[in-house]
Amino acid sequence: MKRIKEACLEQTIHFLLNENLCHNAALSAVKAEVEAYKMSLKKKEIRHRIVSEETMEDGSVILKLKRQYNAYAVGDYMS
């Protein structure tokens, strides 16, 4: 029998601009979407660590993070 003792996800999320909006509105929407995602992690009490947040030339955002998988312990993954 085996059991998972610790687990963590490493994610790279690309928040893209909405092509149906003007550029300024799309930039605002991306910033709001990134902040909403960060707040949802906090609200759901998901342990996480943002490794990097990079704004690309077009205004889109690439967020690299490590986050808790389900309710498993994260051990030293967050270090």
- 36 in any annotated domain: yes
Residue 52 structural domain: 8-68
Does residue 43 sit within a domain?
yes
Give domain status of residue 56, yes or no.
yes
Instruction: Report the percent of the chain where pLDDT is more than 90.
Output: 84
- pTM to 2 decimal places: 0.88
Domain count, the chain: 1
**3 state DSSP class of 34:** helix
Any domain includes 31: yes
* 41-71 per-position pLDDT tens digit: 999 999 999 999 999 999 999 999 999 998 8
